[in-house]
Structure 1
């Protein structure tokens, strides 16, 4: 649904931009700008190009509109299957955010929804972000700010968040997750906290194979244990209990999200079978 301002301004804005009235383009991971730089000609549309797997945008005192093009920094057929996720900061506001695909807009985030900080995801093929300033008498305290990440197509074309549906991983998915995921660790579940939008699983890791960032904190040099929290959809119904698991998953916006998590004995069985057949995608120390 278009706002009255957007309906009246969109067509001339896009036409002006295509005729070369765009202010400038830049290839970078993060962007910071101010609406005050073109307040006197607020009908301008500034094109912004962000070409990294993750970064941020900060638009102070928003006026008019900007178009944000999110693209990977490499050319590959797989790039067309990427999804984009954005996470507004708690202080973000002052704009409505749309997806713009060939001049057709779909509302992604209203101004009043920014403060919730909920992650919004969409296919990279759905277009660029059209960020339109909402008119306010006082723009001195308005700021639009969010982080973005490009993620694999595991989310699917209709994904709206980082959560994946709960389903058992196949043997192939488990072996591939061990080789490619952001974190891999052997351990047990200590506590599960059920929240409205996700569950938080507190785990203790006895063998840490890999972590992209410090998701799991070390207990010290003499204590070969790590602890940390992993998020997952609430409908998965995970419970604390005995037994060891192999935890794998991804890190999004600084938070760990659970991927495949087979019992360690089951992983060991399928890993040894694949090792004998010569089909393992990578080597893991299992002793």
Structure 2
């Protein structure tokens, strides 16, 4: 069946038949129904999205979808972007493949979704091909996921996704201060383990707030400083301890993920040495 569906894809590309083009109004999110394919179960539908983040939700999946993702800037080279997708909890009814020149590599198998897991790939590795699996009752099936497009420069500078447990180099620390979604000075008050999601939840008491997005950190209930939490993989083995750190990171699927986190005294040394050499990529006020 898969080969037949792929053949249909290539026929669509060559002669422009057998598919409907869906352009979402906001170009970020798509929601559609496979019920329109009920009489043509081999239909392949093209979906075009032009945002840095959004979602796809396919109700009653039948046939197949081709998801065309591109950055929302005309001048950006789309090949220099990494795509991450995260299936919705309970997503089922279809297999998700990475497709390039007719070859399919299974990315997410129907019925084997792990809600905590993101699947990432470079745009030059291919595009997303979603094929509905045969079902006796499609009424209970919804295939859906969130997606993010990340500049590979940002991905290499902030390895919160690509290599989250590796300690940062001095250069990565300095870059993280400049481009992270949040930068705070603080200490770890508690670390909780979420075995289901395979994540550590790090509660932070913040002494100095340099930058943040999405109100990650809020005024402390005690009336002084700030507090909030960030996440990192459980395998990184983060433990509560004394001392101040400079916490940096980025938002990933709406959650703050830990990036570089040197001890604050080490950051002061790194920053001052770079400042003396005129090599700081940006300025920050240190104590």
Q: Deviations over 1:9-31 (max 9, x none)?
A: 32133213431013114261111
RMSD between aligned residues = 2.3
Partner of 1:238: 238
**2:11 equivalent to 1:15:** yes
Other structure's SS at 1:40 match = coil
**2:93 equivalent to 1:94:** yes
Other structure's SS at 2:210 match = strand
Aligned counterparts, 1:21-170, within 5 A: 21=17, 22-26=19-23, 28-76=27-75, 79-114=78-113, 116-153=115-152, 162=161, 164-170=163-169
Distance (Å, rounded) in 2 between the aligned partners of 1:17 and 1:41: 18
Structure 2 stretches lacking a partner, 5+ long: none
> Contact conserved, 2:8 with 2:43, CA < 8 A, in 1?
no
> Contact conserved, 1:164 with 1:233, CA < 8 A, in 2?
no
Partner of 2:286: 286
Cα 1:117–1:89, aligned 2, differ >3 Å: closer, same or farther?
farther
> Contact conserved, 2:96 with 2:130, CA < 8 A, in 1?
yes
> Contact conserved, 2:164 with 2:259, CA < 8 A, in 1?
no
**2:215 equivalent to 1:214:** yes
> Contact conserved, 1:29 with 1:56, CA < 8 A, in 2?
yes
Structure 1 stretches lacking a partner, 5+ long: none
> Contact conserved, 1:230 with 1:258, CA < 8 A, in 2?
yes
**2:287 equivalent to 1:274:** no
Partner of 2:202: 201
Distance (Å, rounded) in 1 between the aligned partners of 2:254 and 2:164: 21
Query: How big is the shift at 1:268?
Result: 1.4
> Contact conserved, 1:59 with 1:145, CA < 8 A, in 2?
yes
Q: TM-score by structure 2 length?
A: 0.89
Query: How big is the shift at 1:148?
Result: 0.4
> Contact conserved, 1:204 with 1:228, CA < 8 A, in 2?
yes
Q: TM-score by structure 1 length?
A: 0.89
Cα 1:116–1:279, aligned 2, differ >3 Å: closer, same or farther?
closer
Distance (Å, rounded) in 2 between the aligned partners of 1:247 and 1:263: 9
Query: How big is the shift at 1:117?
Result: 4.7
Other structure's SS at 1:113 match = coil
Q: Deviations over 1:13-60 (max 9, x none)?
A: 321343101311426111111111232222221111111110011111
> Contact conserved, 1:188 with 1:203, CA < 8 A, in 2?
yes
| Of 72-81 and 140-149, the range deviating more from structure 2 | 72-81
Equivalent residue pairs, number: 279
Query: How big is the shift at 1:81?
Result: 2.7
